[in-house]
A and B are shown apart, each in its own frame.
Chain A
Amino acid sequence: DVKVTQSSRYLVKRTGEKVFLECVQDMDHENMFWYRQDPGLGLRLIYFSYDVKMKEKGDIPEGYSVSREKKERFSLILESASTNQTSMYLCASSFGQGTIYGYTFGSGTRLTVV
């Protein structure tokens, strides 16, 4: 089975801190994604990457950046954490061109900014 591993299950950070969320997939998928999941809002796309060093903004990129230096790793960076970034962050990966194959998700990182 494809595995998408997120480095932390729970994180608590202070306002203004720089936060790194790490995601690793082990099945050579081209595409990787970062979503945030909030009650009543579903999943909202922050950034995605379809190749190494390539990145595209999703629907809510403000306050975030990403890095993809290796195919298997996709990092989400909160440049200066704020309380409105308290959320569940989900990493996903997918194979091939387009959305046809669906996503494999990680277990999520629940981030609390205090």
Chain B
Amino acid sequence: AQSVSQHNHHVILSEAASLELGCNYSYGGTVNLFWYVQYPGQHLQLLLKYFSGDPLVKGIKGFEAEFIKSKFSFNLRKPSVQWSDTAEYFCAVGNTGGFKTIFGAGTRLFVKA
């Protein structure tokens, strides 16, 4: 069955700490990979995406993610988090040529000032 697994449901970090959120997927065929973010009280927005080429992709606000095909992983990273990064982060996978995107359960990140 197609699925997306996010390793942590809740993460608490202090400002300036490094962040890595894990994401693994089970999906046949060629995929497009996404990270979305939902800040408190705001709508979901696209943080970054991968569909081909360089497996290390950079997104907004200093975030990056690395696609490791052999591990079916697409982990999100940020070298130094800020209080304003407090949000819920969703990993998502869509099959190339299809219409459906499957989302993980989400990781709530809280950054202490």
Interface residues of A in 22-49 (CB under 8 A from B): 31, 35, 40-45, 48
Could you tell me if A98 and B32 are in contact, using CB atoms closer than 8 angstroms? yes
**Who on chain B is nearest to A107 by CB?**
B43
In angstroms, Cα B103 to Cα A3, docked, is 21
Task: Say yes or no: A98-B99 contact (C-beta < 8 A), given A103-B46, A105-B44, A106-B43.
Answer: yes
Q: How large is the interface on B (under 10, 10 to 19, 20 to 34, 35 or more residues)?
A: 20 to 34
| Distance between B43 CB and nearest chain A CB, rounded to angstroms | 5
1/0 contact string of B35-68 vs chain A (CB within 8 Å) = 0100000111110010100000000000000000
Chain B residues with Cβ below 8 Å from A100 are 32, 51, 94, 96
**Who on chain A is nearest to B97 by CB?**
A98
**Who on chain A is nearest to B104 by CB?**
A42
A90 within 8 A of B: yes
Chain B residues with Cβ below 8 Å from A40 are 9, 105-106
Chain B residues with Cβ below 8 Å from A107 are 42-43
Could you tell me if B103 and A99 are in contact, using CB atoms closer than 8 angstroms? no
**Who on chain A is nearest to B48 by CB?**
A102
In angstroms, Cα B102 to Cα A98, docked, is 13
- Which among A35, A41, A45, A90 is the interface contact of B105 at CB below 8 angstroms? A41
Residues of B within 8 A of A (CB): 4, 6, 9, 32, 34, 36, 42-46, 49, 51, 90, 92, 94-106
Q: List 19 A-B contacts (CB under 8 A).
A: A31-B99, A35-B103, A40-B105, A42-B6, A42-B90, A45-B101, A45-B102, A48-B100, A50-B99, A90-B44, A98-B32, A98-B96, A98-B98, A102-B46, A103-B46, A105-B43, A105-B44, A106-B43, A107-B42
